[in-house]
Amino acid sequence: MVPPIPPPSEALSFGSLLRGWRQRRGVSQLALGLQAGVSARHLSFLETSRAHPSQAMVSRLAGALDLPLRETNDLLLGAGFAPRYPQRALDDAELSEARRALQIILEMHEPNPAFVLDRYWQIILWNRTQALLFRNLHGRSGSPADLNALDLVFVPGPVRESFLNWEEVAVAVLRRLRRQRARVGPADPLHDTWARLLALPGVKALDRTTGTPTILVPMRMREGDRVLTWFSTLATFGAAGDITLEELVVESFFPGDEITRAFVAELAASERPACRP
């Protein structure tokens, strides 16, 4: 179950939000001031609420801190300004071209699997091959709207059990999620998701895994009497001005060996299921 998207943190003041983000980024007031073109003294006044920022100053500091759009809105609200960036549903008419682009990407990636994730790793869209793989693993068809990629990997079940190198894959996903958590506010549900995952069997020990990450972590999965090998790439929208679009990720999977390529060719000839939500 994915936690609901929270409302902006209106209770937090601009000063406390700014100080918290500066500290999380590990930069001094002097360094942030140089990046944003403001004196360290003025930053100190802003953090202690002895000065109030203009809307332009809030946006400049958010840019210097490399904040996502959702967190920039929180910073604006904390300073008493209206949020600047909208968050529309993906089926909103304003996002119709973006949704069409996502569908084209998924279709063009056939016969290889691919899906679209939101901020909380909920699967929003997938292509025909991804739907077929899910059906093969679970013995039934499913809707992407009901599935969360983190749960599929970490919660004991058909997907987790199909991985022959589950620990290696899980470590890579945890590292990716840890990087994502560093870019969100302290009250974001991703932190609760992290705690929930660590409470699952065999996961907490993996978070303490050290060493140099593998150059490219393969996913080796059992499919009947075959072992399939996949690797994936991630893609996002460039210069998105909508929160929904900025947070979407297209994960595309590619065969890692000849056995998997042959499997994909066989799957391409299968009956076409309904793949859209």
Q: Tell me, letter by letter, the H, E, C secondary structure of 111-139.
A: CCCEEEECCCCEEEEECHHHHHHHHHHHC
Tell me how far CA of residue 177 lies from CA of 133, 169, 255, in angstroms. 24, 12, 24
Are residues 44 and 15 in contact, defined by beta-carbon separation less than 8 angstroms?
no
pLDDT tens-digit profile of 13-63? Answer: 899 999 999 999 999 999 999 999 999 999 999 999 999 999 999 999 999
What does the pLDDT read at residue 271? Answer: 58
Q: Which residues of the chain have pLDDT under 50?
A: 1-10, 273-277
Q: Give the burial string for 126-145 (b: 16+ CB within 10 Å, else e).
A: bbbbbbbbbeebeeeeeebe
What does the pLDDT read at residue 101? Answer: 97
Q: Which two tokens stand for residue 51?
A: 């000065």
What does the pLDDT read at residue 51? Answer: 94
Q: Residue 113, preceding bond cis, omega within 30 degrees?
A: no
What does the pLDDT read at residue 210? Answer: 62
Give all domains of the chain, ordered by start, each with its CATH number: 14-78 (1.10.260.40), 93-268 (3.30.450.180)
What does the pLDDT read at residue 8? Answer: 44
What does the pLDDT read at residue 10? Answer: 41
What does the pLDDT read at residue 273? Answer: 47
What does the pLDDT read at residue 12? Answer: 76
**pTM, rounded to two decimals:** 0.86
